[in-house]
Amino acid sequence: MARKRYTFTEAKIVRFIHEGRGSGVGRDYKPWIKVSDVPSRGRTHRPYCAKTGRVHHLLSDNEYYAFLSHWWDDSVIDLREQFPLIDRRETMKIAAWCGVRHPVDPISQAIWVITTDLLVTVSTPHGNTLRAFAIKESADLENPRTLEKLEIERVFWISRDVPWLLMISDDLKNNFTRNLAWIFDPGPGTTGSVRARRIDEILTPYLLEAIYTEHELPIRLICLAIDNDRGYPLGTTLGCLRRLLASKHLRAPLDVPLLQDLPGSSFRIWNW
């Protein structure tokens, strides 16, 4: 549930509904709250995701790390951030049943639309299923009011037989997610762009050969040597490496402190 930047009036809520916010799936999904609507603790992120075919609106580093963890999971086929529990009559009934106050705008007194930070669609042998995630700073859970709002959200999803899980900052900020963040930022050239594809077509054979022949060197030095030998700007081959890792054509351990310090021998060709 995101913090607001300015007053949410009833008129604004109606406008968001008319804009189709919170509707759609995949590339057609429109988050209820966008980065431009509200500030957030820490940094905001607007990554493009090839899996969903759209830009995502993530309001904190914690949300970004949670997004990356699910993006990396091959069973996840869709991610919808800032998902609104649009029926406020239902969430008001849940709040009353829980014996807590429903959130309202402190200025306009409009009844807030409660949002779930991340709604994930997972492919299983028995069909697609949903999982809802609330993402919080660990310290926020010491606030009783935060727990009251989370309880409304939890009951909403449990009543629909949708698993609701809490992801906290202490569990999200680790070597695995930091390495995913490094992979997801492919450096020069955007993943999927004509320029990036052309660079990858040229550099991938050199990179794979160097990983095999110079396997004791850190991968960052291997990439640096290719840039120098082929006359590319520094960081170009690292960008190629990131895209190969993102597409899972290359695999490497992701629980290490710094992925680019791993020797070439730690990288394996996969799913080519």
Q: Whole-model pTM?
A: 0.89
Pairwise CA distance, residues 130 & 175, whole Å: 27
Tens digit of pLDDT for each residue in 106-116? 999 999 999 99
CB 135 within 8 A of CB 165: no
Q: Distance of alpha carbon 62 from its chain centroid, rounded?
A: 9
Residue ranges of domains in the chain, CATH in brackets = 10-173 (3.40.1350.10), 187-269 (1.10.10.10)
Tens digit of pLDDT for each residue in 45-72? 999 898 999 999 999 999 999 999 999 9
Pairwise CA distance, residues 224 & 140, whole Å: 43
In the structure encoding, which two tokens stand for residue 213, read together? 């022949």
pLDDT at 82: 97
Count of Cβ atoms closer than 10 Å to residue 103 Cβ: 19
Least confidently predicted of 51-60, 87-96, 127-136, 180-189: 180-189
CB 176 within 8 A of CB 255: yes
Count of Cβ atoms closer than 10 Å to residue 46 Cβ: 12
pLDDT of 39 higher than 70: no
